Structure 1
Amino acid sequence: MFEELKDGAALIIGGSGGLGSEISRLFARTGSAVAFNYHRNAERAQALQAELAGNGGRVLMQQAELADIAALRRLFEQCETQFGRIHSVIYASGPTVRISAIADLAPEQWAAIVDADVNGFFNLIHVAIPALRRSRGSLVALSTAGTRRFPPLDVMSAGPKASVEMLVQGIAREEGRNGIRANCVGVGHIEAGQGLSIQQDPRGKRLAERVLAATPLRRMGSAEDIANAVLFFASSMASFVSGEMLCVDGGGHV
């Protein structure tokens, strides 16, 4: 299974983060080469690189910020040079957001989060589309299940991710003729990444408790749950699936 992923690399933006690292591990276990960037935490990125290489994986790590188009181009060029093709581009990045009511947000706070998430994602796809045309590959973006059912006090996550989802749908529509598939995974209440960091805020902890109580499966998900959904979209199992959003949230969006 997943033989097609052994030809080339998955390039994971945010690949050393709480969710991105599990996605990186899962792709490596399929036999795919893995390339990932990091923003500031070089120590964590180096540890993941060593782990993947130690398990026999083919891995490339580079520092690259989404605001730096030149750095993104270098990352893509190095990945294609080293591994031949990029079969999947995974957007597993996103700024840490604060819990807030819309009325309490300052315009500069909103502008900063939109710049980091929406404009950052646009920069990524600007560089990624030519590479994915060459490989007839797959784009998978992590979004939030909150775009399907408004999450109280979490508009700073759901608002920008709604724009990310629209860009993904646009790529699915416009680039399908070039063999590109584009899909989103809607992240629910997960015991990793921001799902854990939000609980450091007392309001975030109370909100998480309410979300958990309203989740039909009555539990939090895992980073592996998200990684499995990403792998499905990137693989031939989803070869006729594009423009979709799959909520991995224990049924919380229902």
Structure 2
Amino acid sequence: METPQRQPGLEHEMSPEPEYMPRFPGAGRLKDKVALITGGDSGIGRATAILYAREGASIAIVYRDETEDAEKTAALVEEEGGRCLLIKGDVADKDFCEKAVSQSVEKLGKLDVVVANAAEQHAVEEFENISEEQLKRTFQTNIFGYFFILQAAMPYLNSDAAIVCTTSVTAYRGQDLLLDYSSTKGAILALVRALASKLADKNIRVNGVAPGPIWTPLIPASFPADKVERFGKDSPLGRPGQPNEVAPCFLFLACQDSSYMTGQVLHPNGGEPISG
């Protein structure tokens, strides 16, 4: 199966454009907080960055090389009154992650929220055709990158800090064309649960969000046109979700509304029942 577009995808080339603007006025739930978001240039990351800014946060956005998308997101964050720092690089590189975190703290003053969100996926029909190169690359971005960015952040996170990780509905029920991606998302689920236990005595909360079919740049970047056309229509709600329908989960888990939650996962997936 050919990948129609570069990974992890370009939002400005999508038609229709995803819906990323928050739907409601802010309430100051992240007033004076600083959040770092990997993969914050587009998709769910963009919607989350804008919503966090509306709620009073300053944002550091880590992105691979989607500069046009990242600059638009930064402008939207600033329109909401938030400061925005753009940091270009590959989260699969441990040294880069360490530099990104230190640069965020240096420029924005502190670090209160980390959203580990950057991901890539590559659709392959046959399990045995997943190449060693692809397997390594998917794990390096989707799970190594989470470890690297969170390890780098730990010295700066104080009590009441929040970590939010993006896992996926595929962690719970798999996806025939995305076996390596699904595996990384299962690993992220285990990371959320284990790290939440590890950091509970520091009062650093660790939670996750497991989106279902959401209209983001990963979709046209991963699937041929016929699958993109049908994307999300088999969900109980009969359509794909939009990034601004997922971002409120990231807000809830980042702010004090969720002060008694850690090691948990929210499921904006259009109604698919989830267990486990």
Same fold (TM over 0.5): yes
Q: Residue 19 of structure 1 aligns with which residue?
A: 44
Q: Residue 29 of structure 1 aligns with which residue?
A: 54
Counterpart CA distance in 2 for 1:69 and 1:79 is: 16
Q: How high is the sequence identity, in percent, across the aligned residues?
A: 25
Whether 1:157 and 2:181 are equivalent positions in the alignment is yes
Q: Residue 123 of structure 2 aligns with which residue?
A: 98
- Go from structure 1 to structure 2 and tell me whether the alpha carbon gap of 1:37 and 1:65 turns closer, same or farther (over 3 Å shift): same
The 8 Å contact of residues 38 and 64 in structure 1, kept in 2 or not, is answered as yes
Q: Equivalent of 2:106, from 73, 81, 85?
A: 81
Counterpart CA distance in 2 for 1:22 and 1:105 is: 31
Task: Extract structure 1 runs of 4+ deviating beyond 4 A.
Answer: none
Q: Residue 223 of structure 1 aligns with which residue?
A: 243
Question: What are the superposed Cα offsets for residues 186-218 of structure 1, whole Å, 9 maximum, x if unpaired?
Answer: 11111223234334354x448x55x532x2222
Q: Residue 115 of structure 1 aligns with which residue?
A: 140
Q: Residue 212 of structure 1 aligns with which residue?
A: 233
- What do you get for the CA RMSD once the two structures are aligned? 2.1
Q: Residue 21 of structure 2 aligns with which residue?
A: none
CA displacement at 1:167 relative to structure 2: 1.4
Whether 1:184 and 2:208 are equivalent positions in the alignment is yes
- Go from structure 1 to structure 2 and tell me whether the alpha carbon gap of 1:137 and 1:33 turns closer, same or farther (over 3 Å shift): same
Q: Residue 160 of structure 2 aligns with which residue?
A: 136
Counterpart CA distance in 1 for 2:33 and 2:141 is: 29
Structure 1 or 2: larger helix share? 1
CA displacement at 1:178 relative to structure 2: 0.8
Counterpart CA distance in 2 for 1:173 and 1:84 is: 28
Matched residue count: 249
State the AA in 1 paired with 2:44.
L
Moved more, 138-147 or 73-82: 73-82
CA displacement at 1:54 relative to structure 2: 3.8
Alignment of 1:166-185 (within 5 A): 166-185=190-209
State the AA in 2 paired with 1:9.
V
The 8 Å contact of residues 94 and 117 in structure 1, kept in 2 or not, is answered as yes
State the AA in 1 paired with 2:102.
E
Moved more, 71-80 or 171-180: 71-80
The TM-score with structure 1 as length reference comes to: 0.89
Counterpart CA distance in 2 for 1:2 and 1:89 is: 20
State the AA in 2 paired with 1:116.
T
Moved more, 217-226 or 60-69: 60-69
The TM-score with structure 2 as length reference comes to: 0.82
